């Protein structure tokens, strides 16, 4: 039974979304895919059940019948009994992995946020879990600069060369992409390193859709429901200065949030740069206001929360990947499939 351990070298590397994209690719190629995250990084509670955010996510996207508590037995470090030794934890982890692997062709095992820094005080470090499971290793690294990238990945290779199968270098800024291709990838090839898949930064993967914003806010959609799924939101503002002439009536509406599209950085603002408007505090629009939104072709929503509570909800929800973010995975999958990158990655895993 192949165990595929997907590890990360730091925060915001795209650990969850790349794991999801790899799982999707494997399923599309006919593999039965399971999931296990022995030690959580983002504990959340849903319907009186506490587990890791990734456990909830993968239970949904992989349609797993296993209770979410089994997919991540320790959502936070404080959940690990202080009496449990490292050897006991590693043995338990291996037993749970074997159990979850039944009926699957590949079990994806997700590590914590940082393979090295998180391991210093943890009784079951990622490196030890990888070696105990004899798992194939895929490393996800967020590009920072050439020297940091090279050092981080060569360090992992020196520790886990027998297990390392492939590397994903993610979120490479456009100005650095060519240098990244020529420098780290070239030096890895010369060092006998596994293949590196390079992915450029795509700001669209960080944005919510209007549909996502509406779910977070428990909003009532008053107009423009047809734009919910395909309209991205990059910024939130309460300032009416961004409103174009076609929406000037909204300048007299005081309790509102304005949701802007990614291209809204361009000036002057137009109706096309406004993704939607949220009326806060339980207010309902006057007929003229509703008609203005319809004429301008924007989404108008109403929520019960006040303006600042609504902002807080949106800001705290933006970092968590959910099963509603399928469009992001599809976009990432397209990028990873370009030039046969994903094909090379899957071949390197030797599944």
So what's the pLDDT on residue 271?
60
d(CA 26, CA 46): 28
So what's the pLDDT on residue 154?
85
Angle at 140 between CA 134 and CA 146, to 5 degrees: 125
Would you tell me how many other CB atoms lie within 10 Å of the CB of residue 292? 22
| Domain boundary assignment for the chain | 3-201+321-349, 206-317
Calculated CA dihedral for residues 233, 236, 238, 243, nearest 10 degrees: -40
Angle at 137 between CA 42 and CA 178, to 5 degrees: 90
Closest CA to 215 of 91, 76, 318: 318
Give the ranges where the chain is alpha helix by DSSP (H). Answer: 15-28, 53-61, 68-71, 86-100, 126-133, 146-160, 177-182, 184-190, 210-217, 287-296, 307-317, 326-337, 341-349
User: From 3.40.50.300, 3.20.20.140, 3.40.50.970, 3.30.70.2740, which CATH number describes the 3-201+321-349 domain?
Assistant: 3.40.50.300
Residues 18 and 168: beta-carbon distance below 8 Å? yes
Closest CA to 234 of 271, 204, 211: 204
Three-state DSSP class for residue 294: helix
Chain centroid offset of residue 263 CA? 22
Closest CA to 170 of 142, 202, 205: 142
User: What is the Cα Rg of the chain in Å?
Assistant: 23
Q: How many Å is the maximal CA-CA distance in the chain?
A: 69
CATH architecture of 206-317: 3-Layer(aba) Sandwich (3.40)
Calculated CA dihedral for residues 121, 126, 128, 130, nearest 10 degrees: 180
Do 3-201+321-349 and 206-317 agree at the fold level?
no
Chain centroid offset of residue 54 CA? 9
d(CA 197, CA 22): 12
What phi, psi does 59 have (nearest 5°)?
-60, -40
pLDDT along the chain (351 residues), means of 10: 91 94 95 97 92 97 97 94 93 98 97 77 90 96 87 86 92 90 68 84 88 94 94 90 91 94 63 88 94 96 96 84 89 89 86 79
Residues 340 and 197: beta-carbon distance below 8 Å? no
So what's the pLDDT on residue 188?
67
138 forms beta bridges with 6, 166
């Amino acid at each position: 039974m192949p165990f595929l351990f997907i590890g990360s070298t730091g925060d915001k590397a795209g650990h969850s979304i790349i794991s999801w994209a790899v799982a999707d690719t494997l399923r599309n190629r006919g593999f039965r895919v399971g999931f296990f995250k022995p030690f959580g990084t983002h504990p959340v509670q849903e319907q009186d059940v506490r587990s890791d955010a990734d456990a909830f996510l993968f239970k949904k996207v992989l349609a797993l019948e296993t209770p979410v508590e089994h997919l991540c037995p320790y959502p936070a470090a404080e959940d690990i009994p202080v009496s449990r030794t490292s050897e006991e934890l590693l043995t338990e982890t291996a037993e749970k992995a074997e159990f979850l692997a039944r009926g699957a062709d590949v079990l994806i095992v997700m590590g914590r946020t940082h393979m090295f820094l998180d391991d210093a005080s943890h009784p079951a470090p990622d490196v030890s879990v990888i070696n105990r499971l004899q798992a194939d290793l895929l490393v996800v690294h967020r590009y920072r600069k050439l020297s940091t990238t090279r050092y981080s990945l060569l360090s992992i290779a020196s520790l886990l060369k027998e297990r390392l199968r492939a590397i994903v270098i993610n979120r490479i800024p456009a100005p650095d992409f060519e240098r990244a291709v020529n420098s780290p990838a070239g030096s890895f090839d010369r060092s006998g390193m596994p293949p590196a898949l390079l992915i450029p930064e795509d700001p669209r993967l960080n944005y919510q859709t209007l549909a996502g914003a509406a779910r977070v806010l428990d909003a009532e959609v008053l107009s423009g429901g047809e734009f919910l799924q395909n309209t991205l939101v990059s910024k939130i503002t309460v300032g009416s200065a961004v409103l174009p002439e076609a929406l000037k009536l909204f300048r007299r509406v005081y309790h509102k949030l304005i949701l802007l599209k990614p291209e809204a950085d361009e000036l002057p603002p137009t109706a096309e740069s406004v993704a939607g408007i949220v009326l806060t505090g339980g207010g309902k629009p006057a007929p003229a206001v509703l008609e203005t939104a319809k004429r301008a072709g924007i989404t108008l929503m109403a929520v019960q929360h006040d303006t600042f509570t609504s902002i807080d909800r949106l800001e705290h929800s933006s970092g968590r990947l959910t099963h509603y973010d399928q469009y992001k995975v599809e976009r990432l999958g397209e990028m990873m499939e370009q030039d046969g990158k994903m094909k090379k990655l899957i071949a390197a895993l030797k599944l």
